[in-house]
């Protein structure tokens, strides 16, 4: 299945356990413009910084697939 997403939807799903499980499903292809991916990376770094005590390197490692 192919799914086109915007940044707010992608960020929301990445923050939810159920959403993360869906996003790693091999039968799901997620599409978004480069701007969407850039916004998602920015927002996830910002939120991870507030929600966790991860270093910048740890955040980058975690978000490397985006």
pLDDT tens per residue across span 7-21: 999 999 988 889 888
* pTM for this prediction: 0.71
pLDDT band at 6 (very low <50, low <70, confident <90, very high): very high
pLDDT tens per residue across span 30-57: 888 999 989 998 998 888 878 887 777 8
The encoded tokens of residue 31 equal: 């599409």
Q: What is the CB neighbour count within 10 angstroms for residue 12?
A: 12
Residue 66 has a pLDDT of 65
Residue 20 has a pLDDT of 84
Residue 36 CA to residue 8 CA, distance in Å, equals: 9
């Amino acid at each position: 299945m192919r799914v086109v997403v915007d940044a707010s939807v992608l960020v929301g799903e990445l923050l939810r356990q159920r959403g993360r499980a869906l996003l790693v499903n091999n039968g799901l292809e997620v599409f978004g413009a480069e701007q969407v991916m850039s916004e998602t990376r920015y927002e996830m770094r910002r939120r991870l910084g507030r929600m966790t005590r991860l270093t910048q390197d740890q955040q980058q490692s975690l978000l490397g697939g985006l």
